[in-house]
Amino acid sequence: MRWSWTAVQLDAGGEVRMLYSKDLVTYEPGSTHTLRFNTGVVGPDLAAGSPEEQGAERTGEFISARIPLFNDGSGNLGSSIVTSGFARLESGGRVLGEGPATDWLSTEVPAASAPYRLTAEASRSAGDTFTSTKVTGVWTFTSARPTTDRTKRLPLSTVRFAPRLSLRGTAPAGSTLTVPLKLSGAAAVAGQVATLKVNVSYDGGRTWKPLTVTTNPQGARSVTVKHPATAKAVSFRVDLKDRGGNTVRETIMNAYRLAP
């Protein structure tokens, strides 16, 4: 038997504010499993869900993109009510298309090869959550009209932060935490990462400090975060460039909170 899961967060009036889903999974008889939904760090993750639910693609002279910004730290596809946000596709300094951050953006583009910049940004209400209150992703890539009529996936990448946090999305202040980095998309292929930089902020993004990205013998990447005893929250900014020259910058404000 295969199981699929959906977890929702409701407000006091019973309205759905967040929704997370897990693909079909099979469990061995007699085994025990724990599933975690809506835990940090919530952010972009191209490995969550299916290609029909998110990503960027080109068919002929149209580019379509939808990058959910609130997939949870366990890698489950997520959606959230937002207070503000947008998705925007630009090229050569011109805005080609713009729409809500939560919907597919489909835009007609020139046939010739050109550089593109895709931005997705959204903020959430403090009444709904105190983590990942604002998430921004900026992707750059080059695209030309495909030589066939088949749909072509565009070379976007994401980095998911996957620390072990409490169910409330907190870590102890004054402690040290290892934060695994889970790459997906074009840069997840072995040998495709050109540069990967991570910065941390403890003051809401006013100042940023670089973190050292380490890679173990199995190829798993992580950063180590030393929490100040007086800090209240941790924000992340990550910059990735792949061997093809495609880039992404993700900024996650209040990625998780620090508890006394």
Spatial separation of the C-alpha atoms in residues 73 and 52, rounded to whole Å: 21
Query: What confidence score (pLDDT) does residue 51 get?
Result: 83
Position 18, amino acid: M
Query: What confidence score (pLDDT) does residue 149 get?
Result: 83
pTM of the model: 0.95
| Bridge pairing between strands 170-172 and 247-259 | parallel
- C-alpha closest to that of 228 among 199, 255, 198, 202: 202
**Which residues, in sequence order, are CB contacts of 242 under 8 Å at separation 6+?**
155, 157, 186, 187, 192, 193, 194
User: How many angstroms separate the Cα of 245 from the Cα of each of 59, 140, 147, 218?
Assistant: 22, 9, 21, 25
- C-alpha closest to that of 82 among 145, 124, 129: 124
**What's the distance, CA 132 to chain centroid?**
10
Query: What confidence score (pLDDT) does residue 115 get?
Result: 98
- C-alpha closest to that of 240 among 162, 169, 161, 132: 161
**pLDDT tens over the chain, length 260 residues:** 899 999 999 999 999 999 999 988 999 999 999 999 999 999 999 999 888 899 999 999 999 999 999 999 999 999 999 999 999 999 999 999 999 999 999 999 999 999 999 999 999 999 999 999 999 999 999 999 998 888 999 999 999 999 999 988 999 999 999 999 999 999 999 999 999 999 999 999 999 999 999 999 999 999 999 999 999 999 999 999 999 999 999 999 999 999 98
Q: Provide the 8-state DSSP code for 54.
A: S
Query: What confidence score (pLDDT) does residue 14 get?
Result: 96
Task: Tell the residue number behind the tokens 């403890």, with chain if given.
Answer: 202
Spatial separation of the C-alpha atoms in residues 83 and 129, rounded to whole Å: 12
Residue 8 burial (CB < 10 Å; 0-12/13-18/19+)? Answer: middle
| Bridge pairing between strands 247-259 and 16-26 | unpaired
Position 52, amino acid: E
User: How many angstroms separate the Cα of 238 from the Cα of each of 80, 88, 108, 195, 230?
Assistant: 22, 20, 30, 10, 24
Instruction: Tally Cβ neighbours within 10 Å of residue 74.
Output: 19
Instruction: Tally Cβ neighbours within 10 Å of residue 202.
Output: 20
